[in-house]
A = this chain, B = another copy of it.
C-alpha cells in the first residue's frame, strides 16, 4: 500500500534533521577521506555514517521499500519502476564538505511506481531544510515557496557543473553567454535550491540518479520544467544531462541548442 505523502514527509524530514545534527557534531573530525571514480570524487567517514543512519531509519519505517544510495554498492535499478523507492544522497557536494566545510546537502527523494512523491534537501551549513511533495507544495523550513515565475534566459543566472560546461556538448557556453551569467557551486542539491528559490533561472548539469531524485520532485512540484538535454523525461536508472528552468527560459535554451 502506498503510504500518504504527509506520512512520508513527516518521516523523511525527521530522518534528514537527525542526520544534519550528526554532521554538525562531526564536521571537524572527518577521517578516512577516500576517492571513488576519480581524484576529486570523494567519500568520507561522514558520508558513510550518514548513509547508514538514513538507510537504517528508512528500513525500520518502510521495510518493503527499495533504497538507492550514492555510497551503496548494490543499485537495484530494475526495481525502481514499481512500489516505494527512496533515493538517498547522504552528502551531496563531498568535495565542498572536505575543502570548505560549506555548500553541501543531505538529500532524500521518494518515488512510488516510478512517479515523484516527495523529497527533502538539507542545506546543512545554513540550517535550511527544503522539503515538499507533489500534493503538499514546497517549503523552506516553515516558509512556503512560490511556484515558478516565467522569465527569459537573459533575465537570470544559470547554475552549471563546470567540467560539463567546458565540454560544451550541449551549447552550454552559448546558453551562458545569452544569460545574465553563470555560477558554479559544486553541489547539485544546492543548485536545485537556487532554482526553486528563484535565485538562479536555470540549472544545467550531468548528474547521477541520487543527485537528481530529490531536486526533481521539488522543481516539478513548483511547476518548473525538467528534462534531459534531448527534451526527454529524466531516467532515474542512469546518468542524465539535465536542464531545469521555467517554461520561457527552457524554450530559450532549447532554441539555442537547436539553432
Q: Are B100 and A157 in contact (CB under 8 A)?
A: yes
Contact (A99, B156) CB under 8 Å given A176-B162, A181-B40: yes
| Segment at the B interface, from A182-190, A205-213, A234-242 | A182-190
Query: Would you call A180 and B95 a contact (CB within 8 A)?
Result: yes
Whether B186 and A99, one on each chain, are in contact in the complex, defined by CB atoms closer than 8 angstroms, is no
User: Interface centre among A39, A102, A183, A199, by most B CB within 10 Å?
Assistant: A183
Q: List the B residue with the shortest CB-CB distance to A185.
A: B183
Return chain B residues, CB-CB under 8 Å to A99: 156-157, 180, 199-200
When chains A and B are docked, how far (Å) is the Cα of A176 from the Cα of B162?
Answer: 10
Taken residue by residue from 187 to 219, chain A's Cβ proximity to chain B (1 for < 8 Å, 0 otherwise) reads as 000000010000110000000000000000000
Give the number of times this chain occurs in the complex, counting copies: 2
**Sample of 15 further A-B pairs with CB below 8 A, known A39-B154, A99-B156:** A39-B180, A95-B180, A95-B181, A96-B157, A99-B180, A100-B157, A157-B186, A162-B176, A162-B181, A162-B182, A166-B173, A166-B176, A181-B186, A183-B185, A184-B184
Which A residues are within 8 Å of any B CB, using their own CB? 39-40, 95-96, 99-102, 154, 156-157, 162, 166, 173, 176, 180-186, 194, 199-200
- A-B residue pairs in contact (CB < 8 Å), sample of 24: A39-B154, A39-B180, A40-B180, A40-B181, A95-B180, A95-B181, A96-B157, A99-B156, A99-B180, A99-B199, A99-B200, A100-B157, A100-B199, A101-B199, A157-B186, A162-B176, A162-B182, A162-B184, A166-B176, A181-B186, A182-B184, A183-B184, A183-B185, A183-B186
